[in-house]
Structure 1
């Protein structure tokens, strides 16, 4: 209960219960009879000294008994425990018995309240969001562990402190002080500047406030990727559309038909159309791989045959400008989706051809690696600087944008490779030295190998 000081247990009103009439009458007679007996003794013995001494003695004994019971009652109230309630007779017995029942009832209510607050605490700690309870002066009454992590708070150190004293970013202080909490605000914590929090305050009861924090870093990254994706697609489509539109305007403005010009422009428009078609095809493929939609049929794929096909495609794309070498030392069969494997491995091969200068060597290698098996494409091309390696599989990321367009790339090839390999539990490894060449490796787990 001490962990949640903003909660208080309100005592429930109890109906007053009076003792029955006979019990009240007997208690009254029990109090009056000794007094009547004392008066009779004094009257019987007259006003002799002995009578008054006897009366005083009896009064002293009665008073001492009452004081003793009061002392016992006071001692118990200082440390009340049901098992240590004093015992007594008569009225004192009734009082002690009532106190015993009341204390047991109070302890039972306390245990029930403690269990309820404990469940609340566990529930609040299990929330994925941070929760901070503020009082009417915006001082921290309680917070969960997520809030400690989000805001850099400490329950041991910061309870009772003003929240704006601990978090001093101006727009947060203004938000807390203006008391307009219909919308949330965004905040980068000082202790974790790469984290983005969404913060909103919800007033409750008369004076308390609930400050809720949510980590939206990943959501913001997704939003940025989405915006960049839309911008990149728009840019990639705008360029060929602009070219096609310009050619059409030129052809329409020709006063006299010129077959040579028309043929040349038609070929250029055809190339731009094919470029848009490749972009659309790659977008659809990537969307299908990322969303895991569509049918993913797996079969035993003849890798020996697929490797020969990839080598032939490399030679055809090269047009005799490169030396293409195929080294097949691995298993002949692999479990997977043939189209996805062809797309992934084919992208690696076509990239090597595009970025290797004339006269270079491209080696396709299929071999065992540990318990698994690895397909690698090694070229003697232009290579890639180290700062670009980690971002190569991002959509539309290009080391050299102009060169990528000149070679016919869409900027989606390696993103397709990554997702296709993930569907086969394979890992993509990229190693490159600028000016010397690159090696792209796809390593498949042993579960994918088919022994025939």
Structure 2
């Protein structure tokens, strides 16, 4: 500003220098006219640039044509550079905000930002799906107006966020959510939503497994303890003693079978990936047929069907265990006179091992849970048939380690078909 003041004073001094001779030699009024004209021109020059500045300030843009004259050129230049720098800063800030929003949208956990009134400021796509929100229309709405489950409302109202809230979604009862509320930025809150459905399912399966193991072992142990107590305290004849010992032996074998199946299942789950060696399916199918006939003891018709000469790649003991379980189940649950059909088909597109029976069949509602440990459609019938409740769990784990799928089709009263389908990568010899 110092240079501009000096420039203005010099122009005023120049007007005085010109006006004095005119007023002295011509007429005083003429001198005053020259002096005022000089000041007017100077004022007009500044007013013109000031008007341009006023127009620009109403709609500031980064315009390289924004130029002034004289001292105004420096002012306009600084304004241009300042506006350019400011817009660059805004662009960088917008880019950073966009990156943060994109990162929030990419999270697999739900995120909802709330103000001090629990009104929605932002939520990502995951939270929209988990809670049924729509950020475009729900922004600014209290979240308790949209998620009205009493336990959720009470959790936000009590404001005790030391523990997360476990919430079973009312939109999908199979989905379990864990909700954390974290205060931030003074009076705002960040709500983090984790989908813990799988963890909850595993915990439930673990609890059921422990309970089922305890239940399955308690019965034979009770029988053994009861007979031992009877034999120790009561004199019984040899025939009765032999009957007791036979029942004790039966229960001991049952416990042994349960423990053996548990060990088999545990070894499969903890074993390294299966081998990729070819398994001779002709010999395996023949062995399975002989085992089925031995278990049936002539009560059933056992039929073998093969299509294709391909073999499987994998662990022979695991595959034998899986297939033998399917065959033995078919024999156990098929009344005398029924038919057990063992089939093997292999091609360049994949392979299928299937066991079909004409047995009692299974209600469709039970099929999704058949491969759970100790799950039984009819506990009494399963025990009478000699099953441990772990056979299909062993089948499922053995097949999954060979990238195979177990397909179950059944009609009550007509029979069942269990098919293990293998991908082409597991077929050898074609």
* Deviations 1:59-85, CA, capped at 9 Å, x for gaps: 322222222111111111222233245
Residue from 319, 335, 340 that aligns with 1:341: 319
Give the aligned partner of residue 368 of structure 2.
Answer: 390
Alpha-carbon distance in structure 2 between the residues aligned to 1:329 and 1:308:
14
Give the aligned partner of residue 357 of structure 2.
Answer: 379
Which range moves more in the overlay, 320-329 or 131-140? 320-329
- Cα distance change of structure 1 residues 59 and 222 upon mapping to structure 2, 3 Å threshold: same
Give the aligned partner of residue 6 of structure 2.
Answer: 29
Residue from 22, 31, 34 that aligns with 1:54: 34
* Deviations 1:32-83, CA, capped at 9 Å, x for gaps: 2333344556665268332333333233222222221111111112222332
Give the aligned partner of residue 279 of structure 2.
Answer: 301
**Is the CA contact 1:85–1:100 (under 8 Å) kept in the aligned structure 2?**
no
Alpha-carbon distance in structure 2 between the residues aligned to 1:443 and 1:95:
80
Alpha-carbon distance in structure 2 between the residues aligned to 1:137 and 1:219:
32
Residue from 88, 91, 102 that aligns with 1:122: 102
Give the aligned partner of residue 216 of structure 1.
Answer: 196
Give the aligned partner of residue 241 of structure 1.
Answer: 221
Count of equivalent residues = 427
Residue from 239, 256, 274 that aligns with 1:260: 239
Alpha-carbon distance in structure 2 between the residues aligned to 1:445 and 1:102:
66
- Cα distance change of structure 1 residues 71 and 194 upon mapping to structure 2, 3 Å threshold: farther
Q: What's the secondary structure of 1:241's corresponding residue?
A: helix
**Is the CA contact 2:310–2:346 (under 8 Å) kept in the aligned structure 1?**
no
| Residue 273 in structure 1 maps to residue 252 in structure 2 | yes
Alpha-carbon distance in structure 1 between the residues aligned to 2:425 and 2:418:
22
Give the aligned partner of residue 15 of structure 1.
Answer: none
Give the aligned partner of residue 284 of structure 1.
Answer: 263
Alpha-carbon distance in structure 2 between the residues aligned to 1:239 and 1:118:
63
Equivalence map 1:48-197=2 (5 Å): 48-84=28-64, 86-197=66-177
Which range moves more in the overlay, 393-402 or 260-269? 260-269
Q: What's the secondary structure of 1:96's corresponding residue?
A: helix
Q: What's the secondary structure of 1:312's corresponding residue?
A: helix
Flag structure 2 segments of 5+ consecutive residues without an equivalent: none
- Cα distance change of structure 1 residues 314 and 192 upon mapping to structure 2, 3 Å threshold: closer
Q: What's the CA shift for 1:259? A: 3.5
TM, length-normalised to structure 1: 0.86
Alpha-carbon distance in structure 2 between the residues aligned to 1:70 and 1:43:
30
**Is the CA contact 1:298–1:338 (under 8 Å) kept in the aligned structure 2?**
no
- Aligned-residue RMSD, C-alpha: 2.6
Q: What's the secondary structure of 2:140's corresponding residue?
A: coil
Flag structure 1 segments of 5+ consecutive residues without an equivalent: 1-18
Q: What's the secondary structure of 1:182's corresponding residue?
A: coil
TM, length-normalised to structure 2: 0.90
Which range moves more in the overlay, 68-77 or 367-376? 367-376
**Is the CA contact 1:76–1:85 (under 8 Å) kept in the aligned structure 2?**
no
- Cα distance change of structure 1 residues 33 and 381 upon mapping to structure 2, 3 Å threshold: closer
